[in-house]
Structure 1
């Protein structure tokens, strides 16, 4: 990151503690100045204090200007070394209270520079400062150990903790990547299983249904018995409808690769009005309320609504004898809101009829609704009875929807 792009402080907490540390070291140096000897050179008694406080304040600029700050601290250390060697008392008192011979802020500078400088540059800076602070040409127990503790130790410790931090981040990234790959593999396996099921349904079930429709059609043409012809026509019509719905289901399983264009119309068997008529014909008072244009939704969504109404009315007949039902279909540009509300049962259900189902009807409806991107809801009504409803989108992104939906929705 360039200097122009690097922020002054990485975060507000960093800003707070950097300013606090700079002021704390400035106060420490002022205390050493008050309690200890002054400098006695030509630059005055406060020359060393001014240099130390200037170095302390550069800590605030470390994260934006790490190179210049480290260079300034190194230059200050060289200046203190040169003054101590050739002009004692100029920048460092002859008998200083501090045992270090580099700026007192040096450990903090080196420990934080590991966050913004590359390893090679930091090691070079720390090595130069360690030599200046330790003064191996004149080793002394008063300077050498403290010089190494104030330079080499903070730099090496910071490099260790920074490397550990990067390792932990790398492990976290690797774990997250492995988890994403696992989810991707699971999704690919589910997609492969859906394609396999779609292939089996297309190759086996569709073939058998086609033969059944053809045989029923032939029987209706050749039979001399009117009842047989009527029965054959019923079989042919129901088989053709089953083929259409099977192709739609195969298309959804294959993400729409098999489904072809088809539009529901009020005259087709998939019309919910037919379900309401069938329900009324067996003694269930059923009202149908339709609001909006059915052409606003795609065929897949329309058939999903048809299946929901069919299953809900079947449950009313099986589990709520004597109840009435209201089927509501509200078409709008955003999709379709469908609900089937039934009243409480007038008398107990027939045990044989109530137990004839698989018990997975509502669960299957929920899966079908969620498959097309809708929301399913079912449960008892506050005043008695039961409600089954769903909020369905107008369009499902399958090949069927992409082929015929623009025309069906009038876009």
Structure 2
């Protein structure tokens, strides 16, 4: 394993520093006087210094070489003074001067037992316990045992902090999982309540409307009853979709847009006209240019905006604008001022979060939303939507979406 650039720098830098230190010892102190020449000790020290650069690649070879050099220096000091170590050395230990750095870095590339054995051997060589002396024993401990102890402590602390960090992240993930499970359980409970209560009432309304249309002799009543039955049936279909979302956390399946389905804004315009609101639809461009997810977002925006016109601006007219282009879809629903005060019961029937929900829905697909009063007392709701949102549904329902 070659070290990274940062590690290589921090290996090369002490090697150069200690090599310079050994050269300084050579200049200021005595030189070796043995048969190997006056620079024998300096050459051995410099070789040990620069072997540090290869520690990450050849850890066993480098540590073995430095250990062998230490034994050679000890043997020279004991049996051949002046061969590899000067008779009166400036350094007070008989191990290479690079030994503290070598042992500190060896903790990163060797197992702990090997490092302890290596430090113990070099400590014995450096301290020479058979001839203890205040000139060698303390410096031997400082250059061997102390660097290993400090490095092992730092590594153990790093491992402890990493363990605590992992435990905290695991606990946080478990909390998120528990929260998701609680939300899923609440969705299932709400789905059951909606299915049991709302579906039952809507079904009764559809049945009563159908019976009224069959038994009534008044054509106007039969037409109104059929409208109620049809809208109730559509509400049941949408409610079943919503119950599926609450139970499963996702839509029950991909849906495509066509003029015959509720997802067509033209149907919303027709419904608005049928209840007496003068509504105009202006469409520019090809609806196929946007993905189903974006089209459904536009549908919900038009639906909510026209509902607000009926509730809060009775007697007003509305204009729905849809402009399809390669970059996406521009949606606009503008209404004129109300011709009369709104019905208090109808105006107060909403939750008050309709526009906030629309903004959230638009921003969820990456669009921009705007709503506010118009000059003359009207109101405008608009959005700029992208052509495609990279969702699983969009890819399934719109195979060419990824190419856009």
TM-score bucket of the superposed structures, by smaller chain: 0.7 to 0.9
How far apart are residue 347 of structure 1 and its match? 7.7
Superposed CA offset, 1:203-242 (max 9, x none): 3322332232223223322334434433322221111011
Superposition pairs of residues 8-407 of structure 1, within 5 angstroms: 9-10=3-4, 12-255=5-248, 259=252, 265-267=258-260, 271-277=264-270, 279=272, 282=276, 284=278, 286-293=280-287, 298=292, 304-316=297-309, 318=312, 325-328=319-322, 330=324, 337=329, 339-342=331-334, 350=341, 356=348, 357-368=350-361, 373=365, 375=367, 377-380=369-372, 386-389=380-383, 391=385, 405=397
- Distance in 1, matches of 2:49 and 2:250, equals 70
Q: 1:348 to 1:130 in 2, by over 3 A?
A: farther
Unaligned segments of structure 2, at least 5 residues: none
Superposed CA offset, 1:61-101 (max 9, x none): 11222221111111000111111112111111111111111
- Distance in 2, matches of 1:126 and 1:168, equals 26
Tell me which moved more, 278-287 or 96-105.
278-287
Q: Is the 8 A contact 1:313 1:340 kept in 2?
A: no
Q: Is the 8 A contact 2:40 2:84 kept in 1?
A: yes
- Distance in 1, matches of 2:289 and 2:204, equals 32
Q: 1:203 to 1:406 in 2, by over 3 A?
A: farther
TM-score by length of 2: 0.83
Q: 1:261 to 1:179 in 2, by over 3 A?
A: closer
Q: Secondary structure at the match of 2:84?
A: coil
Superposed CA offset, 1:11-66 (max 9, x none): x3332232221111111111111111111111111111110111111111112222
Q: Is the 8 A contact 2:277 2:315 kept in 1?
A: no
TM-score by length of 1: 0.82
Tell me which moved more, 276-285 or 243-252.
276-285
Unaligned segments of structure 1, at least 5 residues: 1-5
- Distance in 2, matches of 1:220 and 1:20, equals 94
Structure with the bigger RCO (C-alpha within 8 Å, sep 6+) is: 1
Q: Is the 8 A contact 1:66 1:113 kept in 2?
A: yes
- Distance in 2, matches of 1:349 and 1:85, equals 114
Q: 1:313 to 1:85 in 2, by over 3 A?
A: same
Counting matched residue pairs gives 393
Q: Secondary structure at the match of 1:26?
A: helix
Q: 1:118 to 1:50 in 2, by over 3 A?
A: same
Q: CA RMSD in A?
A: 3.6
- Distance in 2, matches of 1:231 and 1:38, equals 116
Q: Is the 8 A contact 1:312 1:340 kept in 2?
A: no
Q: 1:287 to 1:67 in 2, by over 3 A?
A: same
- Distance in 2, matches of 1:310 and 1:24, equals 76
